[in-house]
Amino acid sequence: MPDTNRGTDVASSDPAADAAAVFDLLIGLVRAQVLRGVAALRIADHLSDGALTAEEVAQREGSHPQATYRLMRAASSLGLLSHEGEHRFALTGRGRLLRSDLPGSLRSLVLAQTGQAHWRSWTHFPEAVRQGETQAKKALGMDVFEYYAQPENAEEAALFAQAMGDMSSLVTQGAVAAVSTAGVSTVVDVGGSNGDFVLALMEANPQLSGQVLDLAHVVEGARGEAEKRGLSDRFSAVAGDFFEEVPPADLYLVKTILHDWDDAQCTTILRRCRAAVNEGGRALVVEMVIGEIGQPDIAALSDMAMLTMTNGMERDLDEFDALFAASGWRRSKTYPVGGGYFGLELVAI
């Protein structure tokens, strides 16, 4: 008989197929470390000019030849490499994304996500669920951002920063193409780091003046980026705390900020923007959006990462709308911007 509580016919389940499916989920940890191995050994870089044998890659990298072959064979099974015969391998389209010298590379993201800070924190995941908050401090002795600030973790911190920049550039391109800046004069990138988003908008619209609001140790990098792009005359960077105050603007950019914070903190950030927005102004929130329950959803999985690493969360549209209503905004438009992210345009109410 069908189990009406689950809406599926339990009797029709195939135990062998179910076991195979669960094993496939479990082997995900091995897939992640194969990715790490390919990235760490710069195998994609070694193959950038054409196919090589595993022995040739091992000689260039200084790695064990047989172990390198075994890694490349496993990477081939994941579609990262193609086997050309006689232990020779070439890059696939997926594998190219692990090159260190290409725009849109995911190499730093792979190394950051499989590095010590994340991997050790995941070992405490069940307790994070029991407590409803990150256990990163238990795993690392401090929260993850304090961990990255330690001099001995500088290399890992640099990989994380590079990974966030690489991901940001992928999303920024889609967001810049999608959002209209008609009637907008001033744009503030809230927590905008090096200003990549607002500077890209300024390049697309020569009439815009842009500004980054971020912490004091960050804003100098934004000024340098604006100068490098020749936009200093229309750009400024302000050191500040978006929980306290934001500058006035016609358009606020709030990209991948809200998922780092709990509901109360998000409401505060959005209220600061609402209090300062110019008449008729808007905000553009860029975040992942959790979709229909039970469907494959990278945002729902990313939410588990947020629970593991921070006290933030990914949200569905209803949860976002509740935040917006509580802070004086209403969502007026929603559109995909790439990489699983969405632009949520807000108007003041």
- How far are the Cα atoms of 218, 273, 342 from residue 188, in angstroms, in the given order? 15, 10, 19
* Contacts of 40 by beta carbon, 8 Å cutoff, 6+ apart: 111
Residue 174 phi, psi (nearest 5): -70, -40
- How far are the Cα atoms of 60, 82, 270, 271, 279 from residue 108, in angstroms, in the given order? 21, 22, 31, 34, 41
List the catalytic residue out of 46, 118, 124, 259.
259
Tally of CA atoms within 13 A in the half-sphere of 294 that contains its CB? 3
Distance CA(191)–CA(330), nearest Å, equals 21
CA angle 200, 198, 106 (to 5 degrees): 65
Query: 283 has which bridge partners?
Result: 252, 346
Element (H, E) at 281: strand 277-290
CA angle 18, 20, 21 (to 5 degrees): 65
Element (H, E) at 76: helix 65-77
Query: What are 203's two structure tokens?
Result: 């390049």
Residue 118 appears among annotated catalytic residues: no
Residue 333 phi, psi (nearest 5): -145, 150
Distance CA(47)–CA(43), nearest Å, equals 6
Enzyme catalytic residues? 259
